[in-house]
Structure 1
Amino acid sequence: MIELEDVPPLRGPRPRGAQRVRRRPLPDDAPRLRPARRSLLTGLAAAGATAGLKALGVFPQAREAISSGFELVGYYDIYPRCPSYASNHNCSPGCGPSYVCAWCCRNSGKYKGFHKSGASNPGWYKLRPNQCYSGGYDGWLWAYSKKCGSCAKGVTWRCHDGWNKSKKGVWYKTICRKAVACKN
């Protein structure tokens, strides 16, 4: 059986009579943990050649990954297909059952072509976040495959929903639509 006095302490002063442990230098034939000169130069040459070929355009640019269900535009999640409630709409108004308006869209800035918000027009506009397609998206794409305005063979709209306040102070649902593709 081991007595308590025989167990060395982990902290504190060294017990009387305990030998001091000294680290010894590695022997000359021990392996070193640094790369050999030849390996280092080979790696640098390979990195330089790769950078040079990339600068010359030998390697193609990486393609953007295809999204799985939505497109993130700024901080808006845009669903890539028209929701079922707008599937039977024609060229105008398109997008959905809410009132479609051009004047409810921002016409400048980072979010040009998206619905006006309380940040851009306080007191008159609000966004309807996460209310499209079962509550997960802020907007959607809607396509019409026949002549629509100046688009001879079809148009694709980005629809972004929000609220507008009437002059009487009543809020009503609105949709900003912006053409993102026109087939001629």
Structure 2
Amino acid sequence: MIEFEDVPPLRGPRPAGAERVRRRAAQAREAGPARRGLLTGLAAAGATAGLNALGVFPPARQAIASGFSLAGYYDIYPRCPSYARDHDCSPGCGPSYVCAWCCRTSGKYKGFHRSGTSDPGRFKLRPNECYTGGYDGWIWAYKKKCGNCAKGVTWRCHDGWNKTKKGNWYKTICRKAMTCAH
């Protein structure tokens, strides 16, 4: 049984002859993170990963700020470059020649410009020539009636080249409708 005299006081001077005691928290900081802190960090990381997987934190916010990749290969700028801002419904994507026949009609890259891979010798791409050299294409929107789109259209414009029968190359743009507002 402990006697009252053996209980150290909570306040006041240290009793004569008593050893100085180090706090346990200081020892834990020197040794590394406490188990409770580690478990809390793991739980927070798991919760964040789970919410991200459920789509609570959509990746679109980051993509819009810096451009995005479509079909795992082409980098598309999220808005129209300044040189095409005043274009109307047609041709829209300009200033290069806009053509539907220069777009792929099937496969993984359907709706993107034909390339030397899809049509050797006749078409080729213009990689990294859009918006100061960082993108392969861009998104262009027109907010008025355009063809069957009564309230506007959003196009994906993708740069490329086409070869004439005489062997001359000229710049072309594949224009693919992404949305059509009725």
Short-chain TM bin: 0.5 to 0.7
Matched residues in 2 for 1:138 and 1:72: separation?
10
How does 1:155-174 map onto structure 2 within 5 Å? 155-174=153-172
Matched residues in 2 for 1:69 and 1:159: separation?
17
> What is the match of residue 11 of structure 2?
none
Q: 1:145 aligns with which of 143, 162, 166?
A: 143
Matched residues in 2 for 1:75 and 1:103: separation?
21
> What is the match of residue 64 of structure 1?
58
User: Which deviations, in whole Å up to 9, do the C-alpha atoms of 1:105-148 show, x marking residues without a partner?
Assistant: 00000000000000000000000000000000000000000000
What residue ranges of structure 1 are gaps of 5+ in the alignment?
Answer: 1-49
Deviation at 1:60, TM superposition (A): 8.4
Deviation at 1:181, TM superposition (A): 0.9
> What is the match of residue 124 of structure 2?
126
Matched position secondary structure for 2:66: coil
Name the % identity.
71
For normalisation by structure 1, the TM-score amounts to: 0.67
Matched position secondary structure for 1:112: coil
Matched residues in 2 for 1:71 and 1:183: separation?
23
What residue ranges of structure 2 are gaps of 5+ in the alignment?
Answer: 1-46
Matched residues in 2 for 1:114 and 1:131: separation?
15
Matched residues in 2 for 1:70 and 1:135: separation?
13
> What is the match of residue 104 of structure 2?
106
User: Which deviations, in whole Å up to 9, do the C-alpha atoms of 1:3-54 show, x marking residues without a partner?
Assistant: xxxxxxxxxxxxxxxxxxxxxxxxxxxxxxxxxxxxxxxxxxxxxxx9xxx9
* Residue type at the aligned position of 1:149: G
User: Which deviations, in whole Å up to 9, do the C-alpha atoms of 1:143-170 show, x marking residues without a partner?
Assistant: 0000001111000000000000001100
Q: How many residues get paired?
A: 130
* Residue type at the aligned position of 1:64: P
* Residue type at the aligned position of 1:61: L
Structure with the largest fraction of helix = 2
Matched position secondary structure for 2:83: helix
> What is the match of residue 84 of structure 2?
86
Deviation at 1:71, TM superposition (A): 1.4
> What is the match of residue 75 of structure 2?
77
* Residue type at the aligned position of 1:103: W
For normalisation by structure 2, the TM-score amounts to: 0.67
Matched residues in 1 for 2:161 and 2:110: separation?
17
Matched residues in 2 for 1:147 and 1:129: separation?
31
